[in-house]
Amino acid sequence: MNAVIQPGRLCGTAAVPPSKSAAHRAVLCAALAAGTSHIGNLEFSQDILATLGAVQQLGAKVERGEHDLTITGRGGAEGFPTVTRPVFCNESGSTLRFLIPVFSLTAQKVRFTGAGRLMERPQEIYAQLFERQGLRFEQNAQGITIFGRLCPGAFTLPGNVSSQFISGLLFAAPLMEADSTIEVRAPFESRSYVDLTVDAMQRFGVKVTARSRKDGTAVYKVAAPQRYIAADLTVEGDYSQAAFLAVLGSIVGDVSVSGLEPASRQGDKVILDILKRCGAKFEAKGGTVSFRRSLLKATEIDLADCPDLGPVLIALGCFCNGTTVIRHAGRLRIKESDRIASMQEELAKMGGCVQADGDTVTVTGGALHKPQVPLAGHNDHRIVMSMAVAALAAGVPVTIEGANAVNKSWPGFFEVLKNLGACVETEETEG
């Protein structure tokens, strides 16, 4: 699908979709729980659908409403059903990494498959862990095969890897036969995502003890065996998706974003602090934040705890006076696309100046112009949305090829832009 975007005046209020991070965690906990859980405020993106498909293979029963779910969990670590077919994770790194340790508890040979670049993304942490326990872990371009039940014990992980590995072990730990300790060495990046995992587990009745050492190392202790217990909850709004509208509103003004939890523990909530440092003017009332048109200035940004904000912050840098410096950006290269290279390539078509040196990205502010060729989505939802924001903020017409990538996390993204007054036409393409 191509999206053709024309410049126009934007104004109004848009509700953000539910947090994908929180939804993954709620679905998995409910699927492992004893009893029936109800989860409200869901958007059935491709990633969430992948997790739903996977937990049904673990024995959970799922009843889907328009924007909610009823899940009857399997209720323990005994008697997993036979896994008869590969677990398809689509392009969802969360689905894959959360579920590898959980599926290992079935003590069966399990095959994971995916789409896009998922099977190219690094999994050395699990590969090494399985090898140390004498278990099978094989990865190639077609999929990952595991065989053998993870044993409890003391796990030590570096803190500069994806938090999804830590979360995966945490989800599985209470279902093991004895207690486990997970030590995450400093510097601990993306800790806020692990906080979301612990919070979800505790809401479903699992006790996790967390403490920090003076050097920044974190230690999680999980008693076992424990049972997840069914719970009802409503998924909060997603700050990582709100960031696209927040950046757009800070540049063009008259845009409000609703559906946000002011006390959220999402790491991507830092988008508001970053925009404030850039000089953005906005007002927060309850769960709604209203943005005014602002003259923005460059700042330094650390992505260690908020890597998903990377693409839209690179776009933001183009509209800030001065040079924006974005540090700890290296992990952007191993997402759905190489997000640094993708943003460099697409913004260059519009006259943007983005440079990368190792783990650091610098963006020099300056006017963007109409591109002479279509923009490419790079099969990456955050690239597509970031380029749509850049085009609307610059007031230039663009065509974005592969715009259907937004279905991975926010299928209604372009409808939201239309409701704000943007002129967006989508064109179906062959293939």
Active site residues: 308
CB hemisphere CA count around 391 (13 angstroms) = 29
CA distance 285 to 217: 36
Decide the pairing of beta strands 208-212 and 2-6.
unpaired
Looking from the CA of 290 toward its CB, the CA atoms found within 13 Å total: 7
Helical ranges in 149-225 per DSSP H: 163-172, 191-203
Taking CA atoms, 416 is separated from 9, 240, 421, in Å, by 14, 15, 9
Distances (CA, A) of 192 to 1, 119, 235, 339: 34, 25, 17, 21
Which one-letter DSSP state was computed for residue 264?
A: -
Amino acid, single-letter form, for residue 313: L
Please give the distance of CA 92 from its chain centroid, rounded to a whole number.
Answer: 9
- Do residues 23 and 238 touch, judged by C-beta distance below 8 A? no
Q: How far is CA 212 from the centre of its chain?
A: 25
**Residue 425: Cβ within 10 Å count:** 12
**3-class SS letters over 300-352:** EEECCCCHHHHHHHHHHHCCCECEEEEECCHHHHHCCCCHHHHHHHHHHCCCC
Q: Under a CB-based contact definition with an 8 Å cutoff, are residues 424 and 4 in contact? A: yes
Reading phi first (left if > 0) and then psi (alpha if -120 to 50, else beta), residue 30 is in: alpha
